[in-house]
Structure 1
Amino acid sequence: MRDRLGTLFSTVPDDGRGAYAHMRAALIECPEPGTVLNWLRNSHSARLLADLVARGRPLTHLDLDATAGDGRAAPRTVDYLRGLLVAYQVLPERDELSARIERHLDRVVARHPEHALLLRSYVRWSLLPRARRHERLRGGGFLGRVHSAYSRINRAAEFLTAMAAQGRLLREVTQHDVDAWLAINPGTRFTVRDFIVWATRRGHACPLDVAHWPKRDPVSLAEDSHWELLHQCLTDTDLPLDVRGAGAILLLFGQHLTRIAALTTHAVTTVGEHTFLTLDLTPIPLPGSLAGLLTDLTDMPPPTNWAANSSQDWLFPGDRPGQHLSASVLGRRLAAHNIPNRPARATALVAFAQDLPPAVLGPVLGLHPVTAAHWRRRASTDWATYLEARLATPPP
């Protein structure tokens, strides 16, 4: 391993003060040298790093962006290497969400330069600020936000191109034009709503409307099955500890897997004899069995097979440098033990909404006020709708 590292950093001064000094020292001190050796021998990211180090000049994020090719594996390799270099302090941290969205915007504008002004204004003043705010307030779901931004930019460019093909500027587009364009493929084109709402509000278009895409009613678990799964998570020691912890939070509090995966150990706090879990703003007191389970989860030693993959206080650390477990991987682990994600979440939220008003439900579980009101209506614990119906159609 030392020989391989010496070859890799042969062009770097070995004075302990360069950009790669911390990385080199940490790799040498790794408790699993065989893992480092395998990475140096077989990894695409190690080969890419060797090419970048051989240039003999300081490495930047732009250098990594320039190496990302069109191949399917190239972006993943670059992302992994970027996380590694940031964890080892070779590169400074950056706003990766903004960087990815702006890079995709540049690609789209290169294909549609005639729409550059509108697209850049839309992304800069509407899409990007909201994506940053959601990431700051809600956490987790990084890839979901990136893909959602990509889709909205693509649909906006596609819509503008289609209208231009008909000889129409955006301010000349009518509601009929919008409806006709959406009717061709509404399942994928409805995301243009975000761009059209922005363009209408900013005066770039006449008043236009795109309806929200209807969501299917979530399927719930039977009450007995729900509580049996929760009891299994709390008591079955044969289940992996991370599956038990994530399953219990899902079944009891109805949290999105993106938020569960992004929880840190600081979300679990102990004051005296009581343990609390903070999902948003309000610390929630935990029953003894769940408190013990989450305490054991926070006390788990971090993975030691790879020096850069420190847990960084994640409750569910991932296998990428400095990152938590992805929601998709966590969902597959739960599904492998027969814990369904969406039905479990729907059942838990309906149970909460039956007892708590939206003003309380939102701050406790981290739900948007509109979402909290939606679940309250779904729980249907009041008779207002029934009374309105009876008054509208009185019995004969």
Structure 2
Amino acid sequence: MDRGKIQTAIEFLAWLDANDLPFADLTQLQLELWLVTAPPTRRKAIGAFIRWTNARRLTHRLEAPIRPRAQPSVFHDDDEHHDQLLRCLTDQTLPLDVRIAGAFVRLYALPVTRIVHLTTDCFQRDQDGAYITFDKAPVLLPPTLARLIEQQIASPLTRSMLQPAPGSGPVFLFPGPLAHQPRRPHGLAVRLLDLGLPTLAAHNTAMIAIAADLPPIVASDLFGIHVSTAIEWAALAQDSWSDYLAARNATG
């Protein structure tokens, strides 16, 4: 490690000591709480330190997310976002997998790289409704989307003649050319774009809506967003709401 990385590690360990947090019991949430208050220049350095401690099993599967270099700037307006979501849920001329993936992006701000790794056992139905678990907590699904997912599970689109044996491993909701592998995210993203359902603006629009409606820790548990990232989006949503109110008052 270079001097800057060593200094960052010392600062982080001092913070843990000051807060009476044992390093051996360090959690992802504690790491991200430190990242929220740390200068942006410390993020890359602490990431190197955490990768080093993970490799030596001093910590377990921790990640130090990198702060985005710039605020998101591409969004849909409310009508466009709603129309695209409605298209995903109701347009039977669209391929089934495209409809589900497009709805996941527009409702839950899921990136395509995570969508393709969803497995069929993430989906559950009980007497109260249908749910899907993206991270820690199940998310209640709209009935229409739940039915689309059930159709996809019953007859997944795959070009493979070889199906995985029962109990041989996870069954992907979006299987690739080989059924035991997920679909390639780039191919799915291009397919969505070609059919008029681009992902970047849709993701940003859904993300800012989530950040405006849910506390960061809840958004993290439901959608697998890093807490620090959720906090940044919450701040952006608050700024956007303040700007909207200021503009409305100026014209009122």
The TM-score with structure 2 as length reference comes to: 0.65
Partner of 1:326: 184
SS of aligned partner of 1:315: coil
Identify which of 125, 129, 133 aligns with 1:278. 133
Shift of 1:366: 0.7
Residue 174 (structure 2) aligned to one of 309, 316, 319: 316
- SS of aligned partner of 2:151: helix
Alignment of 1:5-44 (within 5 A): none
Q: 1:255, 1:365 within 8 Å by CA — same for their partners in 2?
A: yes
Q: Secondary structure at the match of 1:380?
A: helix
Letter in 1 for 2:173: L
Deviation at 1:215, TM superposition (A): 2.6
Secondary structure of the 2:92 match is coil
Residues matched between the structures, number: 191
Aligned positions of 1:185-196 closer than 5 A: 193-194=44-45
- Identity of aligned pairs, percent? 32
Matched residue, 1:220: 75
* 1:295 aligned partner: 150
What amino acid does structure 2 have at the position aligned with 1:343? A
Taking the aligned partners of 1:196 and 1:366, their CA distance within structure 2 comes to: 19
Query: Residue 320 of structure 1: CA displacement?
Result: 3.6
The offset of 1:234, in angstroms, is 0.3
C-alpha displacement of 1:321: 5.7
Find out whether 1:254 has 2:109 as its counterpart: yes
TM-score by length of 1: 0.43
- Residues 294/371 of structure 1: CA separation in 2 closer, same or farther (3 Å cut): same
Contact 2:81 2:205 in 1 (8 A): yes
* 1:218–1:342 CA contact under 8 A, matched in 2: no
Runs (5+) with no aligned partner, structure 1: 1-117, 123-136, 138-189, 203-210, 385-396
Structure with more contact order per residue of length (Cα contacts < 8 Å, sep ≥ 6): 2
Spell out, residue by residue over 1:201-255, the C-alpha distance to the aligned partner (whole angstroms, 9 max, x if none).
Answer: 99xxxxxxxx977235231111100010000000001000000000001110001
Post-superposition offset of 1:379: 0.6
Task: Say yes or no: does 1:377 pair with 2:232.
Answer: no
Query: Could you tell me how far apart the structure 1 residues matched to 2:190 and 2:162 are?
Result: 26
Say if 2:201 is the partner of 1:343: yes
Q: Tell me: CA distance 1:370–1:334, structure 2 relative to 1, closer, same or farther (3 Å).
A: same
Matching residue's letter, 2:142: P
CA shift for structure 1 position 297 = 1.3
User: Equivalents in 1 of 2:48, 2:181: separation in Å?
Assistant: 35
Distance 1:308 1:260, change over 3 A: same
1:240 aligns with 2:95: yes
Instruction: Map residues 65-104 of structure 1 onto 2, 5 A cutoff.
Output: none
Distance 1:357 1:265, change over 3 A: same
| Cα distance in 1, alignment partners of residues 173 and 95 from structure 2 | 14
Partners of 1:329 and 1:252 lie apart in 2 by 21
Structure 1: distance between partners of 2:171 and 2:46: 38
String of CA shifts for 1:13-46, please: whole Å, max 9, x gaps: xxxxxxxxxxxxxxxxxxxxxxxxxxxxxxxxxx
Q: Which has the higher helix share?
A: 1
Report the Cα offset of residue 306 of structure 1.
2.8
3-state secondary structure, aligned to 1:352: helix
Provide the C-alpha distance between the structure 2 equivalents of 1:383 and 1:233, rounded to a whole number of angstroms: 28
Tell me, in whole angstroms, the C-alpha distance in 1 between the residues paired with 2:159 and 2:177.
11
Residue of 194, 198, 216 corresponding to 1:358: 216
* Offset from partner CA, 1:46-74 (integer Å, 9 cap, x none): xxxxxxxxxxxxxxxxxxxxxxxxxxxxx
- Distance, in Å, in 1 between the alignment partners of 2:170 and 2:157 is 9
Using a 3 Å threshold, how does the CA distance of structure 1 residues 349 and 213 change in structure 2: closer, same or farther?
A: closer
